[in-house]
Amino acid sequence: MRFAIFLLWLLHHLPLSVLNLFAWPIGKLAYLLAKERRQVGLINLRLCFPDWSETKRRDIIRQHFHAMARMLLEYGIMWYATPQRLQRLVKIHNLDYLKQYEQENVIILYPHFVGFEMCVYRLNLEKALVSVYSNQKNPILNQQIYQGRMRFDNAKIVSRQEGLRSIIKAMKDHTPFVYLPDQDFGPKDSIFVPFFGVEAATITGLSRIAKLSKAKVIPAIPTRVGNHYELTFYPAWENFPTEDITADTRRMNAFIEERILEQPEQYFWLHKRFKTRPEGQARFYN
C-alpha cells in the first residue's frame, strides 16, 4: 500500500490528459477482470433503464470503468497538488447559491459521481466543510485518506458511526455539511422509495438533519468535462423538509435521477444500490 501511495505521488506531477491515457487500458482490464462488479453495474442499469438496449448498457459500464480508473489515478492530485492547480482543474458554477446562506445551516446534497472527490477538495479551498468518514480496513490507506481530507485544515470529519448528533454539532457554526445519501446502507434508518421506478432502501437523513438543524438544502453536482472538472450548485430547495418524510426522500431521489440522465457514465453504478429488498421480494444480486 505504501508503494501504491508513492506511485500516486509520482503520477500527480502528470497532466490529466496523460493520466487519461493510462486509464484506458486499466479501465478495460478492470472491466474484463472485475466480473462481479461488472455484473452489479449491468444489473443496476437493467433495473433503472429497462428500455435501453443491452449494447447501450454495456457501453455505459465500459465508460464507467474508464471513469473510475481515471478517478483512482487522480487521487495523487487530490492529495498532493497545489491549491493553485486544483483551482485550475475545477471550475465552480453558481457558488453564490451557497454563499448567500453563510449565516445559516446548510446541507450540500452531493450524489456519488466520479468527480465528487476532486471537486470537494476544490470546494474546501473556498469553504470549511463537514463530511462523514467511513474507516478503511487498511490502516495505511485509512490514514492517507483521512490526512488528505484534512490537508487544508478546515474540514470537520465525523465518523459514520457517530450519528446525527455529532453532525449537527459540527454544523453549529454554519459550516456546510456535504451529504452523500444515495447508496444502500441497509434497512436501519432507511425507507423504500422509488429510484428510477425501483423500490430502493434510502436513508432519510436529508430530511431529518434539515429539520433538526433548520438547514437549507443546496444540491451540488460534480462533472468531469474532458480534462477538467466542473462543480455546479443549484438553488436552495423551497418547502423542504415537509412533514412527509417519504415525499422528501422521493424528491431527493428524483433530483438525483435527473442529474444521472445528464451524465450516466459518471454515476457510481458498481455499488449494490438495490441490495436491501422489501420483505418477500427476491434479491437482484447473486
- Asked if omega into 241 is within 30° of 0 (cis), the reply is yes
Residue 9 maps to a domain: no
Residue 255 maps to a domain: yes
User: Across the chain, what does the average pLDDT equal?
Assistant: 94
Residue 2 maps to a domain: no
List CB contacts of 168: < 8 A, sequence separation 6 or more: 209, 212, 213
d(CA 115, CA 203): 22
Torsion angle of the four alpha carbons 101, 104, 107, 110, in this order, in degrees rounded to the nearest 10: 20
What is the pTM (predicted TM-score) of this model?
Answer: 0.94
Residue 6 maps to a domain: no
List CB contacts of 45: < 8 A, sequence separation 6 or more: 52, 57, 60, 61, 269
Residue 248 maps to a domain: yes
Give the chain's end-to-end CA distance (angstroms, integer).
30
Mean pLDDT of the region 28-45: 97
DSSP 21-50: HHHHHHHHHHHHH-HHHHHHHHHHHHHH-T
3 state SS of 206: helix
Domain around 197: 84-266
pLDDT given at position 239: 95
pLDDT band at 38 (very low <50, low <70, confident <90, very high): very high
**What's the residue count for the chain?**
286
**Tens digits of per-residue pLDDT, 158-207?**
887 777 888 989 898 999 999 999 999 888 889 999 999 999 999 999 99
Per-range mean pLDDT, top range of 5-14, 84-93, 126-135, 170-179: 84-93
**Tens digits of per-residue pLDDT, 217-275?**
999 999 999 999 999 999 999 999 999 999 999 999 999 999 999 999 999 999 999 99
Q: Is the distance from CB of 93 to CB of 138 less than 8 angstroms? A: no
Q: Is the distance from CB of 245 to CB of 191 less than 8 angstroms? A: yes
Number of domains in the chain: 1
| 269: number of Cβ within 10 Å | 25
Residue 245 maps to a domain: yes
3 state SS of 247: helix
Residue 16 maps to a domain: no
Half-sphere exposure of residue 185, counting CA atoms within 13 Å on the CB side? 15
